[in-house]
Amino acid sequence: MSTSTDLTTADVCAAAIADAFKDDGEIFASPMGMLPMLGVRLAKLTSNPDLVISDGEALFLAGVPPLFAKADKVEGWIPFRRVFDVVAYGKRHVMMGATQIDRQGNQNISAIGDFAQPKRQLLGSRGAPGNTVNNRTSYWVPRHSPRVFVEAVDIVSGVGPSRAAAAGPAASRFNDIHRIVSNLGVLDVNGPERTLRLLSVHPGVTVDEVRAASGCEIHVDGADSDVPETRLPTTEEQLIIREVLDPKGLRFKEVPRPEAAT
């Protein structure tokens, strides 16, 4: 039987991601990346059975299969072009990656350096500009570091609340940056003037460690000691993660298991 000593950071992250989707009701959860996919499926099996999930390609899934399993009961068709319809419709919560994220909650997946001739070309802005002005958007950062959390992103792909407000009501009406989950803690953008705020630190992580791993100021409500620990996955959640959704331990490719404690 599993005990709390078996708990890994990856499991804590999965539960924190699931919590980001628990109050969404009947909307399309669009996870990008392994832990977001795990967290969304965990939410569907626990806190929010109404969530609509897909195979990441063209099908809405009626069941909740393990990560990357092929066969499952299908409940709908969501080819790439129809995703844009749902984005505009608004019944969607996407969790994206972020190569950079800044204090204002802006995100960059386009390029590092000057846009005209970047030091490092990344994917391109993909759907981030449209997601952030149309539907709820969260971010997943598997390696919290000062290179990811920066004072100002090089290129604004995803739009934070201040930029959205400055662009007018058409941009700000549906701008909803919900959660940023990293391997160290959980943040939102409800600090002073809609800046990054630390909501919780994962077990074994201190607020100072989060600060040291961030290249910009991270707001804390009250004293550092007031910042709670991210909740542990319940026994049921641990079982679902280990036995149902990710029996092969694929999650540890994104958030490595620590060296076994002695």
Partner 1 sequence: MKGPRDKRMSIDEVVDTLEDGMTIGIGGWGPRRKPMALVRAIYRSGLKDLTLVSWGGADVGLLTRAGKVRKLVYAFVSLDSVPLEPNFQKARQEGTVPEVVELDEGMFNTGLQAAAQRLPFLPMRAGLGSDVLVNNPWIKTVQSPYDEGFGHEELVAVPALRLDVALVHMNRADQHGNATYLGPDPYFDDLFCMAADRAYVSCEQVVDTAGLSHDTPVQRLLLNRMMVSGVVETPNGAHFTTCTPDYERDEKFQRAYAAAAGGSEEDWQAFHDRFLAGDEAAYQAAVTAFRNEQEQQA
Q: Which positions lie near partner 1, rule CB under 8 A?
A: 57-59, 77, 79-81, 84, 87-88, 110-111, 115-130, 132-134, 155-159, 163-164, 166-171, 173-175
Distance (Å, whole) CA 128 – CA 110: 10
Nearest residue to 133 via CA among 159, 101, 165, 111: 159
Rounded to the nearest whole angstrom, what is the least distance from the CB of residue 60 to partner 1 in the complex?
Answer: 12
The residue type of 235 is T
Rounded to the nearest whole angstrom, what is the least distance from the CB of residue 58 to partner 1 in the complex?
Answer: 4
Contact 17, 38 (CB under 8 A): yes
Query: Quick one: 29 or 109, whose CB is closer to partner 1?
Result: 109
Query: Quick one: 90 or 211, whose CB is closer to partner 1?
Result: 90
The residue type of 155 is I
Reading the block at residue 229, the tokens are 């620990």
Whose tokens are 């969790």? That residue is 95
Query: Quick one: 9 or 99, whose CB is closer to partner 1?
Result: 99
Angle at 173 between CA 170 and CA 179, to 5 degrees: 125
Rounded to the nearest whole angstrom, what is the least distance from the CB of residue 180 to partner 1 in the complex?
Answer: 18
Q: Sign of dihedral through CA atoms 24, 25, 28, 33?
A: positive
Rounded to the nearest whole angstrom, what is the least distance from the CB of residue 81 to partner 1 in the complex?
Answer: 6
Rounded to the nearest whole angstrom, what is the least distance from the CB of residue 165 to partner 1 in the complex?
Answer: 8
Query: Quick one: 171 or 207, whose CB is closer to partner 1?
Result: 171
Query: Quick one: 103 or 202, whose CB is closer to partner 1?
Result: 103
Backbone angles phi, psi at 257, to 5 degrees: -70, 135
Nearest residue to 44 via CA among 60, 32, 29, 33: 29
